[in-house]
Amino acid sequence: MFTPVKLGAIELKNRLVMAPLTRMRAVDGDVPNPLAKTYYAQRAGAGLIISEATQISPLAKGYPATPGIYSPEQTAAWREVVEAVHAKGGKIVAQLWHVGRISHSSLHPEQGVPEAPSAIAAAGQTYGADWKLHDYETPKAMTLDDIARLLKEFEAAAQNAKSAGFDGVEIHAANGYLLDQFLQDKTNHRTDQYGGSVENRLRLLGEVIDSVTKVFPSDRIGVRLSPYGSFNDMADSDPVGLFNAAIQKLNGYQLAYVHMIEPRSTSAGGNDQVNETAPITSEIFRAAYQGQFISAGGYDQAMGEAVLEAGLADAVAYGRLYISNPDLAERFKQGAPLNAYDRATFYGGAEVGYTDYPTL
Ligand code: FNR
């Protein structure tokens, strides 16, 4: 855990990664909260910080008060965050996000209904701009023009991330959001070159990587995947076939890393249930990937050490524990007790549950 590692061109001082964590505290204009500087800098003991998911456009937003990375104001605020992390000797990449159908038109009234690979509404309810629950709407199936626009938005967001000084970007292709919706056949019913065969369903992810590679070298780009994840009404008829093909494809890009979420804690953002019978995706998929691999999901220190020692990951990402333990790396090093997290303050609010967890 405490040996350095290189993820592509990004040099980490240890193998502890802060997982991407949406905190829904952005201010007007979906600009990162001024407190985010403190929050992230407090956690710079991690070998790598992955930012909370940050939307690449207004329509890419799926919850109230999540930050964007498409406007100059947002980019300027991110620059301050990055500088604060760098000043503490940390590394930070931006997680680039489009939620697809996991959204509500009240969050982007000018753009209207959410967009997705196919016009299939997610089951259940989601938060609108009023922070109240609403039924999911049926999204608009994206046209080829929409996809061309999307690729430009990814490129522009990557450009903003670069200008903000991020060490790289992570493309969010996990957890049932847009790129995952294209990958998995429960949500992708397209009949064009972006749907049907596995090769077609992987096409958009490849094109997004190509777009982002116009800005960052591939060894500063990571991709997050969540095979077997059921969060956000997601499923595929053949996860092993699909995600093995995804890894084969990603092997061709010389990325910084692939980041996989163990499905045992697929809903960690919503509850603390653990599915003990879930497949172990590091055991299923890691061997096929030729580059560096981050594993996340339900790890404590001992499990993290074990997955590293087994060679099933090069770094381990911690989510909930990083919320409540800004100095998690130091605590692990000393074998010190951990602060418990307070789920009630995960989303929304200000300092409480954000920048006020005590260090040793
Ligand atoms: C998350 N997770 C998450 N994942 C992601 O890719 N982008 C995100 O913005 C978020 N946001 C988020 C918010 C909160 C409050 C939680 C708890 C989780 C998932 C997270 O990165 C991680 O995969 C899970 O939390 C599982 O890891 P832990 O918490 O068991 O270490």
| Other beta carbons less than 10 A from residue 353's beta carbon | 20
177 belongs to the catalytic site: yes
pLDDT above 90 for 303: yes
Summarised one tens digit per residue, pLDDT across range 9-40 is 999 999 999 999 999 999 999 999 999 999 99
* Ligand 1 pocket residue status of 320, Cβ below 6 Å: yes
- What confidence category does residue 248 fall into, taking pLDDT thresholds of 50, 70 and 90? very high
Q: How far is the CA of 268 from the centre of ligand 1 (A)?
A: 6
Question: Exposed/middle/buried for 187, CB within 10 Å: 0-12, 13-18, 19+?
Answer: buried
How many domains does the chain divide into?
1
- HSE-CB for 209 with a 13 A CA cutoff: 23
Stretch 130-143: mean pLDDT, rounded?
A: 97
* Ligand 1 pocket residue status of 319, Cβ below 6 Å: yes
Lowest average pLDDT, out of 103-117, 197-211, 266-280, 320-334, goes to 266-280
Write down the pLDDT at residue 269: 85
Closest CA to 319 of 300, 335, 332: 300
Q: Quick one: how many helices (H) and strands (E) in the chain?
A: 10, 14
Q: Which residues lie closer than 8 Å to 300 by C-beta, 6 or more apart?
A: 321
- What confidence category does residue 62 fall into, taking pLDDT thresholds of 50, 70 and 90? very high
Stretch 331-358: mean pLDDT, rounded?
A: 97
Write down the pLDDT at residue 13: 98
Q: How far is the CA of 231 from the centre of ligand 1 (A)?
A: 11
How distant is the alpha carbon of residue 299 from its chain centre?
Answer: 17
What is the position in ligand 1's atom list of the atom closest to the CA of 172?
6
What is the position in ligand 1's atom list of the atom closest to the CA of 298?
30
Q: Which residues lie closer than 8 Å to 321 by C-beta, 6 or more apart?
A: 300, 328, 338, 341
Write down the pLDDT at residue 268: 80
pTM, entire model: 0.98
Q: How far is the CA of 192 from the centre of ligand 1 (A)?
A: 33
* Ligand 1 pocket residue status of 118, Cβ below 6 Å: no
| Contact present, 317 and 21 (Cβ < 8 Å) | no
Q: Which residues lie closer than 8 Å to 28 by C-beta, 6 or more apart?
A: none
Write down the pLDDT at residue 119: 98
Q: How far is the CA of 109 from the centre of ligand 1 (A)?
A: 27
Summarised one tens digit per residue, pLDDT across range 82-134 is 999 999 999 999 999 999 999 999 999 999 999 999 999 999 999 999 999 99
Write down the pLDDT at residue 356: 98
For residue 321, tell me if it sits in a domain: no
Write down the pLDDT at residue 158: 98
Q: Which domain covers residue 96, as residue numbers?
A: 55-295
* Ligand 1 pocket residue status of 5, Cβ below 6 Å: no
- What confidence category does residue 174 fall into, taking pLDDT thresholds of 50, 70 and 90? very high
* Ligand 1 pocket residue status of 53, Cβ below 6 Å: yes
Write down the pLDDT at residue 71: 98
**CA-CA distance, 135 to 137, in Å (whole number)?**
6
The mean predicted confidence, pLDDT, of the chain is 97
**CA-CA distance, 66 to 166, in Å (whole number)?**
18
- What confidence category does residue 56 fall into, taking pLDDT thresholds of 50, 70 and 90? very high
Residue 216: helix, strand or coil by DSSP? Answer: coil
H-only helix segments in the chain? 36-42, 72-87, 144-164, 178-183, 198-213, 239-250, 281-285, 301-309, 320-324, 328-334
Summarised one tens digit per residue, pLDDT across range 265-298 is 878 888 899 988 999 999 999 999 999 999 999 9
For residue 10, tell me if it sits in a domain: no
Give the dihedral sign, CA 312/44/261/270. positive
Write down the pLDDT at residue 117: 98
For residue 5, tell me if it sits in a domain: no
Stretch 66-71: mean pLDDT, rounded?
A: 98
For residue 310, tell me if it sits in a domain: no
* CATH at 256: 3.20.20.70
**CA-CA distance, 337 to 323, in Å (whole number)?**
15
pLDDT above 80 for 328: yes
Beta strands 5-7 and 293-296, pairing class? unpaired
Task: Extract the tokens encoding 93.
Answer: 């990449």
8 to 12, 253, 269: CA distances (angstroms): 10, 11, 28
Residue 138, beta-bridge partner list: none
* Ligand 1 pocket residue status of 95, Cβ below 6 Å: yes
**CA-CA distance, 268 to 189, in Å (whole number)?**
28
Write down the pLDDT at residue 270: 87
Q: How far is the CA of 49 from the centre of ligand 1 (A)?
A: 13
pLDDT above 90 for 167: yes
For residue 301, tell me if it sits in a domain: no
Please provide the DSSP assignment of 110-125 as one string.
Answer: TT-S-EESSS-PPSSE
Active-site hit among 39, 40, 127, 177: 177
Closest CA to 24 of 344, 357, 358: 344
What is the position in ligand 1's atom list of the atom closest to the CA of 66?
9
For residue 41, tell me if it sits in a domain: no
Closest CA to 115 of 33, 77, 58: 58
Write down the pLDDT at residue 160: 98
**CA-CA distance, 67 to 22, in Å (whole number)?**
9
Stretch 67-79: mean pLDDT, rounded?
A: 98
For residue 133, tell me if it sits in a domain: yes
How distant is the alpha carbon of residue 67 from its chain centre?
Answer: 13
Q: What percent of the chain is modeled with pLDDT above 70?
A: 100
Question: Which residue's CA lies nearest to atom 4 of ligand 1?
Answer: 20
Cα dihedral 286, 248, 94, 293, rounded to 10, equals 20
Q: How far is the CA of 316 from the centre of ligand 1 (A)?
A: 13
* Ligand 1 pocket residue status of 216, Cβ below 6 Å: no
Write down the pLDDT at residue 276: 87
What is the position in ligand 1's atom list of the atom closest to the CA of 224?
6
Task: Extract the tokens encoding 166.
Answer: 């991020």
* Ligand 1 pocket residue status of 22, Cβ below 6 Å: yes
Write down the pLDDT at residue 34: 98
**CA-CA distance, 98 to 166, in Å (whole number)?**
19
For residue 152, tell me if it sits in a domain: yes
* Ligand 1 pocket residue status of 224, Cβ below 6 Å: yes
**CA-CA distance, 106 to 14, in Å (whole number)?**
42
| Contact present, 10 and 48 (Cβ < 8 Å) | yes
